[in-house]
Every structure is written in C-alpha cells, then in structure tokens.
Amino acid sequence: MRALVTGGAGFIGSHLSEALVNRGDEVFVLDDLSTGRFENIEHLGDRVTCVVDTTLNQDTVREMVREVDVVYHLAASVGVQLVVSQPTRTLINNIKGTETVLEETCRYRRRLLITSTSEVYGKGTKEIFYEHDDRVVGPTDRPRWGYAASKAVDEYLAMAFWREKRHPVVITRLFNTVGPRQTGRYGMVVPNFVRQALRNEPVTVYGDGKQTRCFAYVGDIVPALIGLMDRKDLSGAVFNVGNDESVTIEELAHRVIARTGSTSKVVLVPYEEAYGPGYDDMLHRRPSLEKIGAAIGYKPTTNLDQILDAVIADMRAREERDGAPAT
C-alpha cells in the first residue's frame, strides 16, 4: 500500500508514518514544517519520502495524491494557543487545506481519512460526547470557536463529497492525544506540565483546575486510524477516537509532579491571564467509544500513568540529546 500522510512530520503524523512504514507501506509525507519538525521522521530515513509544502498548494497535493492508494489528512493548525494567536491562518489552513485534499482525492478516487477534533462538540455540558450529539459553540468574536467551526466545516465538506460524489472518506474526532514528540509550544497541557515539573518551576493550572479531560496515548490512536482506513466499508461516517479515562487538570498536575519527583508547586492561573480576555473553556470532554468499538473493536490500553511516564522519559531523553531544555 502507498500512503500519503499530510502533516506527517507532526506529532501524531510522525507516529502514524512510522507505524505504516513498519507494516511495510510506502509512505509519502506532505508537511510545511510550521508546527511539525523534520526530526520527528528523520529516523525513518528513505523509507519515507517527505515533501515540504502546504496543503494549500493544489499542484503539490494533486501530484502526491496521484502517486498513492490512500490519504491520511492530518495537516492543520492545532493547539489552542496557536489558534487564538493566529486565527486567520488557522481558518484558512484548515478549511482551504481540507477542501484541496478532498478535491484531489476525489479526482483520483483515493480513500481518505480526515482528522477532526473533539473541539467540534464545543462547550456542550454533557458528561459523554456521542458522534450524533448537537454542537454547542460560542460567538464569532471568540477565536477558539473559529477553530471548532473550521473543523466542523471540514466535516461538512467531507460529508458533502461522500453524499454527492460517493467519495470514500471517513472522519475521526480526536480527543486530547498525547505522547512522545508532542510539544508544549502551542499550549498542550501534558507537555507543558512535564516541562515545568522537570525544571522544578510552578505548574500552571488554568482556571480552578476542576475541568476534566481524557488523555489518549498516541500509540493507541494510530492503530485506530489505520484500522478505520483499512475498513473500506466505513465511509461517510464519523468516529470518536480517544480514551475515556477522565482526570481533572488539578489532579493531572499533581500526578505529573509525583511521577517526575519534582519540587514544583501547583499555581492557579486565571484563564484571562493565560489566553487573553474572552476565553471559554469547556468543563468536561469525554468520548463515547461505543461506535468505534463496535466498528473495529477499538479499546485503548494505555492508562494515564503509563502515558505520563512515556512523555516524561521522552522529554528527559530530548533534553539530554539536545543539551537544552525540551519544549
């Protein structure tokens, strides 16, 4: 199988590329290296062909799509901090990039997997989110919801291509994926906390820390993406992908401190200070995994402590290798 991974030099994309290479696929990566890093796939050597360009470049997308059998579309502007600070780029990258990938995969009839996000559920107050749930998003003057809207437009576009052209596309909604190689530079909480704890700096919990999240290990997510891609009968459908073990952000901070053996203290930082005025957080975000469980037998197997240990070990190794604190 020949696979194209857009965003293949990013955190999840690089793990996916590696898994595909390991099962014998020929892998092509398209990445503009905006948030991805070539070092993430360097170890794969010539088993991966990497093109540095953006999914906004339709000619490049067309040439690469033509060469492969399937396309995993992961390239996007991600990370709450990036999204809030660069809303124009986020909206254009996410909407236009996905439109281009849809057009070209449809032209050559290549099976496509789109990675969307649990953000599309917005600030619904449900305990568990099901794929068919209503979306509850905030007003247009709050950039966070622009990200949610851009990914929802991607989903609407994918559904439209499926309905009107029978384009074989499957949509995944990823919930807080973490693991080695993830950077904290764009706001993601686990690498941020681990970095702070390793430096014995204050661990910054935003808000009152009572908000909860479910953190999924990238090593559990990647086989799910491949499993959904391989099931050709699963087109025109949306699947939650994640872990359903929930933790408060305050508890997460304490666990990171304990597992790193750090002397850090937890500090509460008001949302306004962290993200600027008018930031809406969501209280809980937990996926129903019933649908993907029934479809491909998916069940996450890595618990939070195992995930944290993997992230801590990776950050320590990076610091040692680079001789500088990992970010």
Q: Specify the residue, 108 or 276, whose C-beta has the smaller distance to ligand UDP.
A: 276
Q: Specify the residue, 138 or 168, whose C-beta has the smaller distance to ligand UDP.
A: 138
Half-sphere CA count of 319, side-chain side, radius 13 A: 14
Is residue 204 part of the contact set for ligand UDP (CB under 6 A)? yes
**Residues paired with residue 68 on neighbouring β-strands, in sequence order:** none
- Rg (Cα) of the chain, in Å, rounded? 19
Is residue 146 part of the contact set for ligand UDP (CB under 6 A)? no
Is residue 215 part of the contact set for ligand UDP (CB under 6 A)? no
Of 42-50, 206-214, 218-226, 311-319, the segment contacting ligand UDP by CB under 6 A is: 206-214
Judged by CB under 6 A, which of 94, 98, 176, 264 binds ligand UDP? Answer: 176
Size of the site for ligand UDP (CB under 6 A): 14
Query: Contact at 8 Å (CB) between 169 and 116?
Result: no
Is residue 115 part of the contact set for ligand UDP (CB under 6 A)? no
Packing angle of the helix pair 11-22, 218-230 (nearest 10 deg): 60
- Closest approach of ligand UDP to the CB of residue 183, in Å: 12
Of 42-50, 56-64, 159-167, 186-194, the segment contacting ligand UDP by CB under 6 A is: 186-194
Judged by CB under 6 A, which of 188, 256, 312, 326 binds ligand UDP? Answer: 188
DSSP assignment, residue 34?
S
DSSP assignment, residue 161?
H
d(CA 177, CA 211): 17
Is residue 44 part of the contact set for ligand UDP (CB under 6 A)? no
Residues in 271-290 at the binding interface with ligand UDP, rule: CB under 6 A: 281, 285
Is residue 213 part of the contact set for ligand UDP (CB under 6 A)? yes
Q: Concatenate the DSSP letters of all residues of 218-261 into one string.
A: HHHHHHHHHHHHH-TT--SEEEEES---EEEHHHHHHHHHHHHT
Task: Give the number of other Cβ atoms within 10 Å of residue 52's Cβ.
Answer: 13
Is residue 192 part of the contact set for ligand UDP (CB under 6 A)? yes
State the binding string over 68-87 for ligand UDP (x if CB under 6 A, else -).
------------x-------
Q: Specify the residue, 100 or 212, whose C-beta has the smaller distance to ligand UDP.
A: 212
Q: Specify the residue, 28 or 147, whose C-beta has the smaller distance to ligand UDP.
A: 147
Give the closest residue to 179 by CA, choosing from 195, 163, 190, 168: 190
d(CA 302, CA 215): 10
The answer to whether residue 147 is catalytic is yes
The owner of tokens 């040692």 is: 320
Angle at 282 between CA 117 and CA 259, to 5 degrees: 85
- The set of catalytic residues is 147
